[in-house]
Amino acid sequence: MNVDMDERERMIQAFLDEMRRRYAQEVEAVGLPDGTLEYVRRRVAEGDADTLLFMLKLGWLMGLQTGFAAGRAGDDMPSAGPGPIQA
C-alpha cells in the first residue's frame, strides 16, 4: 500500500485527535517536571526533531512495558482514575 506523506500525516493527526478527545482529562492530570514546557519549546525552536522523537519513543516504550507488565499480572480491567490508555 503506497500512502503519500500527506495521508500519513492525516492518519497521525486523526489518531491524536481521537486520543485527545478520549483522554484529555487524564493527560492534563499528568505532572511533568518544572521546566518541561520551556525545554520542549526550545527543542522545537531549534529544530531538534531527534530529541523530540526520542522523547516520544521513550514514552511509547514505557507505555508498552507498563501494558505488558499489567497483562502478565492478569490485570484485565483498569482501575478507576488514571490508568491504561487504549488506542
Task: Name residue, grid cell 531538534.
Answer: 48
pLDDT value of position 81: 53
Q: Give residue-wise pLDDT tens across range 16-73.
A: 999 999 999 999 999 999 999 999 999 999 999 999 999 999 998 998 888 878 888 8
3-state secondary structure of 87: coil
Task: Establish how many alpha carbons lie within 13 A of residue 7's alpha carbon, considering only the half-sphere containing its beta carbon.
Answer: 4
pLDDT value of position 3: 64
Domain boundaries, the chain: 5-71
Give which of 41, 60, 39, 43 is closest to 51, Cα–Cα: 43
**Eight-state DSSP code of residue 33:** -
pTM of the predicted model as reported, rounded to 2 decimal places: 0.66
